[in-house]
Amino acid sequence: HDGSNSFITDGGTGDLKIRSNKIRMEAPDSQNMVIVTEDAGVQAFYNGTERLAVTNTGIDVTGTATMDGLTVSSTGATTATIEAGGGGDAVLDLKASEASGGESIIRFSDSVSGVGFITYAQNDGGSDFMRFGTASTERMRIDSAGRVGIGTSAPDTQLTLFKASTNADVNYAKMRMDSWGASTGKLKSIVWDDAGSAVAGIGAEYDGGKTNIHFHSQYNGGFKGTSDKTMSIMGNGNVG
């Protein structure tokens, strides 16, 4: 003791060993500080409340864990779970500095192929945006106005589809329904809507022998049915 502090000092070589099946460190008011129990684990306390436990299954933290990085690794399948009880929200909050134009990133990768990613860009002084990518390449973007771009990073409508110019036939979008022949005489349509009411549409109909295209326009009168068309292009080329 030096008048202010007490010391346990081992000045020689080798280890300082304390042997017991349970070691307890307490504050002067008898509150627990650290408890080490043989074959049970280690408990660390703050102000008498347990905050950290090391057991045979891993680590249990009560409260907030602040760290420079976190790696969850296993030789088999690995699961990270965020669970909230009592009807609360389970939140994964990624924060990047807006001032530096940082991005919050969720990355999907392995040691062989390119990465997939979801990023949210904090664009200092500009507009934020969200990007989705596969094979290390951006595929879709949602800008701060909610406009969606597929194949482009600069959507200028609610949905913009882009593919670089190519000297080939290209399908930009496809609507698929299996067993088309089982829906004879039924329309499969793209519909325009006004405040919840369908007002116009373009539909395809299989009549049992060929596929016909029908145009429907009746503003404020509702989307017309299969038998009520404004114009039709039949599968044999007739227009009416």
pLDDT for position 80: 84
Angle at 79 between CA 73 and CA 83, to 5 degrees: 130
Say if residue 58's pLDDT is above 90: no
Block residue for tokens 């650290």: 34
pTM tops 0.75, yes or no: no
Q: What would the pLDDT profile of 170-226 be if each residue is shown by its tens digit? A: 888 888 877 777 888 888 888 888 888 888 889 888 888 899 998 888 765 666 666
* Beta-carbon count within 10 A of 119 CB: 19
| Banded model confidence at residue 98, pLDDT cuts 50, 70, 90 | low
- Paired strand residues for 92: none
Closest by CA to 208, choosing from 225, 229, 184, is 184
Q: How far is CA 9 from CA 1, 17, 44, 178, in A?
A: 11, 12, 23, 80
What distance in Å separates the CA atoms of residue 48 and residue 55, rounded to the nearest whole number? Answer: 19
Output the DSSP codes for 113-154: SPPEEEEEE--TTS--EEEEEETTEEEEEEETT--EEES-S-
| % of residues, the chain, pLDDT over 70 | 92
- Smallest CA-to-CA distance from 58 within 33, 78, 29 is with 78
pLDDT-derived band at 166 (thresholds 50, 70, 90) equals: confident
Name 53's bridge partners.
43, 60
pLDDT at 95: 83
**pLDDT over 70 (residue 99):** no
The average pLDDT across 133-149 equals: 94
Smallest Cα–Cα separation from 80: which of 102, 58, 95? 58
Q: How many CB atoms lie within 10 A of CB 155?
A: 22
Long-range contacts of range 133-136, CB-CB < 8 Å, 24 or more positions apart?
none
pLDDT of residue 158: 95
Predicted local distance difference test score (pLDDT) of residue 152: 93
Give dist(CA 33, CA 23) in Å, integer: 11
Summary mean pLDDT of the chain: 86
Residue 200 DSSP SS3: strand
pLDDT of residue 199: 83
pLDDT of residue 24: 93
How far apart CA 154 and CA 131 sit, in angstroms, is: 11
Q: Specify which residues 206 forms β-bridges with.
A: 211
Digit-coded pLDDT (tens) for 45-56: 999 999 999 999
Per-residue confidence band for 29, with pLDDT thresholds at 50, 70 and 90: very high
